[in-house]
Chain A
Amino acid sequence: MNVVALVLNAGLRDLSRNRWIVAYTLCFFGIAEGLFWFGGTGPQVLLSLLNLVLLVLPLVALVFGTIHVYASREFVELLLAQPVPRRQLFAGLYLGLALPLAGAFVVGAGIPFAVHARQGASLGGVAALLTAGVGLSLAFAAIATWIALQTDDRLKGVGIALATWLAATVVYDGLVLGAAAVFGDYPLERPLLGLMLANPVDVARVLVLTQLDVSALMGYTGALFQHTFGTVLGTGVAATALVAWCVVPLGLAERLFRRRDF
Chain B
Amino acid sequence: MRNAVMRRAVLTALLSLAAASTARATDLTVGPGARFATITAALAAAQPGDRVLVRAGTYREATLVVRTPRLTVQGDGWPVLDGQGAREVLVIAADDVTVRGLVLTNTGVSSLEDRAGIRARDARNCVIERNRLRDNLWGIYLQRATDCIVRDNDIVAHGAKQTESGNGIHLWYSSGARVERNHIRGHRDGIYFEFSTLGVTRDNVSEQSQRYGMHFMFSDSCRYERNIFRDNNSGVAVMYSRGVVIHDNRFERSWGSAAYGLLLKDIMGGEISDNVFSRNSTGLFVEGSSRLDVRGNEFTQNGWAAKVLADADQNRFTANRFAGNAFDVTTNSSSANSTFDGNWWDEYKGYDLNRDGVGDVAFHPVRLFALVVEQHPAALLLLRSPLVSILDAAERVLPVLTPEALVDKHPLMRPPR
Q: Which residues of A contact B (CB under 8 A)?
A: 41, 43-44, 47, 50-51, 54-55, 169-170, 173-174, 176-177, 180-181, 184, 188-189, 192-193, 196, 202, 205-206, 208-209, 212-222, 226, 230
Contact = CB atoms under 8 A, between A and B. Distances in A.
A139 to B, nearest CB: 17
A214 B383 CA distance: 11
Contact of B303 (A47, A173, A193, A216): A216
A41 B323 contact: yes
Contact of B384 (A51, A215, A220, A230): A51
Contacts of B253: 215
Nearest to B324: A43
B385 A54 contact: yes
B386 A216 contact: no
Interface stretch (B109-117, B199-207, B279-287, B352-360): B279-287
Nearest to A169: B386
Given A44-B323, A47-B324, A215-B326, A205 B384 contact: yes
B179 to A, nearest CB: 28
Contact of B385 (A202, A216, A218, A222): A202
B255 A173 contact: no
Interface in B358-405: 372, 375-390
B317 interface: no
Interface in B245-266: 253, 255-257, 259
Given A43-B301, A220-B257, A226-B256, A170 B383 contact: no
25 contacts: A43-B323, A43-B324, A44-B346, A50-B384, A173-B382, A173-B387, A173-B388, A181-B372, A181-B376, A188-B378, A196-B381, A215-B255, A215-B301, A216-B303, A216-B326, A216-B383, A217-B303, A218-B259, A218-B303, A219-B255, A219-B281, A219-B282, A219-B303, A221-B257, A221-B377
Contacts of B282: 219
Among B323, B326, B379, B381, residue most surrounded by chain A Cβ atoms (within 10 Å): B381
A216 to B, nearest CB: 3
B378 A216 contact: no
Contacts of B326: 213, 215-216
Contacts of A177: 372, 379, 382, 387
A218 B381 contact: no
Interface in B285-323: 300-304, 323
Interface of B: 253, 255-257, 259, 279-282, 300-304, 323-324, 326-327, 346, 372, 375-390
Contacts of B376: 180-181, 184
A193 B381 contact: yes
A132 to B, nearest CB: 11
Among A169, A205, A215, residue most surrounded by chain B Cβ atoms (within 10 Å): A215
B232 to A, nearest CB: 14
A166 to B, nearest CB: 11
B146 to A, nearest CB: 40
Contacts of B324: 41, 43-44, 47
B378 A184 contact: yes
Nearest to A193: B381
Can you list the 6 inter-chain pairs with the closest CB atoms, starting with the nearest? A216-B303, A219-B281, A216-B326, A173-B387, A188-B378, A218-B255
Contacts of A221: 257, 377
Nearest to A122: B301
Contacts of A173: 382, 385-388
A209 B386 contact: no
Contact of B375 (A184, A196, A219): A184
Nearest to B327: A216
Given A55-B386, A181-B375, A215-B326, 9 more contacts: A169-B386, A173-B382, A173-B386, A177-B372, A177-B382, A180-B382, A215-B281, A219-B257, A220-B377
A213 B303 CA distance: 7
A173 B380 CA distance: 12
Contact of B255 (A55, A169, A212, A230): A230
Nearest to B307: A219
A229 to B, nearest CB: 10
Among B253, B376, B385, residue most surrounded by chain A Cβ atoms (within 10 Å): B385
Contacts of A218: 255-257, 259, 281, 303
Contacts of A54: 384-386
Contacts of B377: 220-222
B383 A213 contact: yes
B384 A217 contact: no
Contacts of B375: 181, 184
Contact of B386 (A51, A208, A226): A51
A62 to B, nearest CB: 15
B375 to A, nearest CB: 7
Contacts of B323: 41, 43-44
Nearest to A184: B376
Contacts of B304: 216, 219
B383 A209 contact: yes
Contact of B378 (A192, A212, A215): A192
Contacts of B259: 218-219
B215 to A, nearest CB: 20
Contacts of B385: 54, 173, 202, 205
A212 B253 CA distance: 13
A47 B302 contact: no
Contacts of B303: 213, 215-219
Nearest to B280: A215
A180 B387 CA distance: 14
Contacts of B378: 180, 184, 188-189, 192, 220, 222
Contacts of A43: 300-301, 323-324
Contacts of B301: 43, 215
A220 B279 contact: no
B391 to A, nearest CB: 8
Contact of B380 (A208, A214, A220): A220
Contacts of B379: 176-177, 180-181
B281 A170 contact: no
